Amino acid sequence: MQGKVAIVTGGGTGIGRATVLALVERGAHVQFSYSRSEREAAETATEARSVALRAGTGGSARAMRADVRNPRDVEALVQSAISDHGRLDLLVNNAAVSPAIANSELATLDDDELWDTVLSVNVRGAFRCARMAAPHLRATRGAIVNIGSIAGVNGEGSSLPYAVSKAALHGLTKALARALSPEVRVSCVAPGYVKTRWWDGREEAAARLRKRMLLDTPVTDHDVASLVCQLAQQPGLTGQVIVLDAGQVA
C-alpha cells in the first residue's frame, strides 16, 4: 500500500478507525469520512500521524465530514482525495448505522423512516461512494472493500433492517464486481462479533455471542483492518464475501 491513496467511510471510530491506522502504517494516504463523531475523527487523525512517524512509511490521513446519504458530500469526499493526491486506489465502504431493535418487535420495525435511514446509509451510501469512485479506481486498477456482517449471512443482528441491509451489501458486492470488472476488484469482509463502542452496555449479549465461537479469542477491529488491507492487495480475488467471525456461524 506504499504511496497508494484510499478513502475510508466512517473512519473515525471502530473498524473504520482501525482500517485508517492500518493503511497509514503501510504507507497509504487516507482520506476518511465521519458524519457525527468529530472529536473521535480528530483523535484518529492525530493517532494516524503518530503511526506514520513510527512506521516511517510516509503514510498520512485526513478527516472530512461527509454523510454518505448526500451525493454532494460523497462527491466532495472523492474529489478531495483526487485533489490532494491525484489518484485513488482503494475505497473502503465502512459507514453504517445499526439500530438496536429486537427482531420480534415487528410493530416497531414497521417504520418507513427507520428502513429508509438504514438502507440509505448501509446500502445506497456504499453504492454512491462506489459510483463516484469508479472512474478513478478504473484508472489505477484499484479495489473496493465493503464491510458487511454475519448478520447478512444468518439474519441475526442488531435489528431486522440492519441484517437485511448487510445481506443487500453482500449482494451489491457481487453485482459491483461484475459491473466494474476487469479493472476494479470488489470484495467484502463480513465480521462477526467485534468489540467496539457499540457493545458498551450490551455485555450480556456479547457474552452469549462469544459462547458460540469455535475459537477462544474473538475477532478484533485490528483483525478486520488487516484483512481489508490484504484484500486491497489480492489481485486474484473479486466478488467474494469473506466471513471473519472466529467460528460464530461455522
| Nearest C-alpha neighbor of 147 from the set 236, 70, 224, 223 | 224
pLDDT digits (tens, 9 = 90+) for 163-189: 999 999 999 999 999 999 999 999 999
Residues 117-166 have pLDDT tens digits of 999 999 999 999 999 999 999 999 999 999 999 999 988 877 899 999 99
User: DSSP E strands: which ranges in 37-172?
Assistant: 60-65, 90-93, 143-147
Percent of the chain clearing pLDDT 90 (strictly above): 77
The strand pairing partners of 65, in sequence order, are 34
d(CA 160, CA 100): 9
Catalytic residue among 162, 164, 176, 218: 162
Percent of the chain at pLDDT exceeding 70? 99
User: Cell match 459507514: residue?
Assistant: 95
What angle do the packed helices 112-119 and 160-179 form, to 10 degrees?
A: 40
Cell numbers for 88, please give them.
485513488
Q: What is the pLDDT of residues 187-220, one digit of tens each?
A: 999 998 887 776 677 777 778 778 888 998 889 9
The model's pTM: 0.94
Average pLDDT, the chain: 93
Active site residue 34: no
Domains and CATH numbers, the chain: 5-244 (3.40.50.720)
d(CA 100, CA 37): 19
